[in-house]
Structure 1
Amino acid sequence: MKVTEAEFVQGFIRMCDDGYALGFHERNGGNASYRMKPEEVEQVKDQFSYDKEFTDIGTEVPDLAGEYFLVTGSGKYFRNVALAPEKNIAIVEIDSEGKQYRIVWGLVDGGVPTSELPSHLMNHEVKKKATNGLHRVIYHSHVPNVIALTFVLPLDDKVFTRELWEMMTECPVIFPDGIGVIPWMVPGGRDIAVESSKLMKKYDVIIWAHHGIFCSGEDFDNTFGLMHTIEKAAAILLKVLAVRPDKLQTITPDNFRHLAKDFNVDLKEEFLYEK
């Protein structure tokens, strides 16, 4: 089977294409990665080449040793992923110690995986442990309405969670654990990766102030749907703040408690404070 014909590759391409179509990925903005299942590796490994040298990841992820990841390329445009996947994405193998990687497929015109690879891999390691291997997707995008909110709301987990929960009844059902927020940091390095991985132990969603959003999920549909929901809620909130900052009515803490009971979700009381 050709790599590009595999179902998991087609799902990855669709997620990239959908994000571009919704305006999440200007130029080379954003990145994505997928931790492949063993049977998926078996499907396409005859297309792999092991000629390239291993390269330092920039961090250590021992619990991902020997795993394979499908990733977007550094400096590559999401709009081009569907047009020429073999030029814009890659499959990388992690070495036996979790310290290095090498490209085994893709990026045929040269290049390297996303500059956010340390953040992706550190967070994959965290979510693999936290979900017993269920989560396989990490997706980062430059969603404009969420970014705009980081200029006008306190950079606080409780504030962002509560304000976005109030925008649509489905929000607390879709992200019941809430949202983590990291003040502005230089992207692409170990420092932001470490801070993100701390929050990923608690949340599936992290907002990077003035930068974008970082989501984890079990598959492409759930991960993309999570990001799309949060960005839509952010757009509604911006409209509300523009028209009437002091809301005339909203979803109350008791409303949320009733919702949690009927939908069988656990909404933490820390987010249900009285304003």
Structure 2
Amino acid sequence: MNFYDIEFVKGFIRMCDDGWQQGWHERNGGNLSYRLSEKDVEEAKEYFKEDDKWQSIGASVPDLANEYFMVTGSGKFFRNVILKPEDSTCIIKVDETGEKYKIVWGLVNGGRPTSELPSHLMNHQVKKKATNGEYRVIYHCHTTNVIALTFVLPLDDKVFTRELWEMATECPVVFPDGIGVVDWMVPGGHDIAVATSELMKKYDVAVWAHHGIFCSGPDFDITFGLAHTVEKSAEILVKVLSITPNKLQTIKPDQFRSLAKDFKVTLHEEFLYEK
């Protein structure tokens, strides 16, 4: 089997291109990571090299010890992933302490994994524990309409969740746990990684104010679909607010409760407040 015929590799490349096509990855914006399964490692290991030196992660992730991740590269462009994935992406291995990594495939022309690696790995650790290992994807993208809303809505979990739920009936079904919001912070550092990982204990989506969204899921399709749904809802809200500050009608709390019952999802009452 050719390396590029392996399913997780094809899925990773496709998701990078899907994000670029949506306009969420200008220049070198955004990043994606995927935690390999044992089957993935078995299929890909013949292509791994083992001669790179260990480097500091910048965070401690002991629950990810000896795990492998496919990750986009720092300063690399999503639009180039489909053309030269070996230049724009890499596979890394976390050491037995969970504090260092080394590149075992990719970035053939030099470079390092995404500058958001601490955020990615800290959140992989959180989601691995919270989902008993089911979640494998972490995705950060610059969703235009979500970013726009961070300038006009209160940076509050309840407000963002309720407003986006109201924009399309499918939203509370797709992200029933709601959405968390992180105030503006310098990207790529330890502080934003910690703040995001706290939110990801409760949510699958965190909005980074004036920056984009950070989301997680079990596979590429579900994670991309989650980001796509959130951004579509934000686009509708931006259009509504551009027409009028006051909605004539919307989905009411009891209607949300009926929806939850029929679709067998749990909606937290904190988001179903009366306006």
Q: Smaller-chain TM-score range?
A: over 0.9
1:244 Cα offset (Å):
1.1
Residue of structure 2 in register with 1:192 after alignment = 192
SS at match of 1:166: helix
Alignment match, 1:169:
169
Listed one character per residue, the Cα deviations across residues 118-147 of structure 1 (whole Å, up to 9, x for unaligned) are: 000000000000000000000000000000
Aligned partners of 1:58, 1:4: CA distance in 2, in Å?
30
Q: Which amino acid aligns with 1:161?
A: T
Preserved CA contact (<8 Å) 1:2 1:44: no
Contact 1:35 1:70 in 2 (8 A): yes
Residue type of the partner of 2:157?
A: D
Q: Which residue of 2 aligns with 1:262?
A: 262
For 1:134 and 1:240, locate their aligned partners in 2 and report how far apart those are by CA, in whole Å: 37
Q: CA contact under 8 A between 1:2 and 1:47: conserved in structure 2?
A: no
Return the alpha-carbon distance in structure 2 between the equivalents of residues 251 and 25 of structure 1: 32
CA RMSD of aligned residues (A): 0.5
- The C-alpha deviation readout for 1:31-78, integer Å capped at 9, x for no partner, is 000000011101110111111100000010000000000000000000
* 1:196-215 to 2 correspondences below 5 Å: 196-215=196-215
Unaligned runs of 5+ in 2: none
TM-score, normalised on structure 2?
0.99
Give the secondary structure class of the aligned counterpart of 2:167.
Answer: coil
Structure 1 residue ranges without an equivalent (≥5): none
* Alignment check: 8 A CA contact 1:58 1:190 kept: yes
Question: Paired residue for 1:98?
Answer: 98
Q: Which runs of 4+ in 1 moved over 6 A?
A: none
Q: Which amino acid aligns with 1:106?
A: G
Corresponding residue for residue 272 of structure 1: 272
1:101 and 1:5 map into 2 onto residues whose CA distance is 25
The alpha carbon displacement at 1:2 in A equals 3.0
| Pairing 1:42-53 to 2, within 5 Å after superposition | 42-53=42-53
Residues 152-211 of structure 1: CA distance to partner in whole angstroms, max 9, x if unpaired? Answer: 000000000000000000000000000000000000011100000000000000000000
Measured in 2, the distance between the counterparts of 1:243 and 1:39 equals 51
How many angstroms apart in 2 are the aligned matches of 1:2 and 1:92? Answer: 19
Q: Is the 8 A contact 1:86 1:108 kept in 2?
A: yes
> What does 1:58-137 correspond to in 2, within 5 Å?
58-137=58-137
Q: Using the alignment, how far apart are the partners of 1:3 and 1:176 within structure 2?
A: 37
TM-score (norm 1): 0.99
- Tell me, what secondary structure is at the counterpart of 1:118? helix
Q: Aligned residue pairs: how many? A: 275
Instruction: Indicate the SS of the match to 2:70.
Output: strand
Aligned to 2:154: 154
C-alpha distance in 2, partners of 1:11/1:177? 26
The residue type paired with residue 182 of structure 2 is I
User: 2:160 is aligned with what amino acid?
Assistant: F
- 2:39 and 2:83 mapped to 1: Cα distance? 26
One-letter code of the match for 1:85? Answer: P
1:5-44 correspondence runs (5 A): 5-44=5-44
Letter in 1 for 2:264: N
Provide the C-alpha distance between the structure 2 equivalents of 1:245 and 1:223, rounded to a whole number of angstroms: 31
Query: What percentage of aligned pairs have identical amino acids?
Result: 71
How does 1:217-236 map onto structure 2 within 5 Å?
217-236=217-236
* Correspondence for 1:180: 180
Inter-partner Cα distance in structure 2 for 1:263 and 1:74? 40
Deviation at 1:23, TM superposition (A): 0.3
Instruction: Tell me by how many angstroms 1:5 deviates.
Output: 1.9
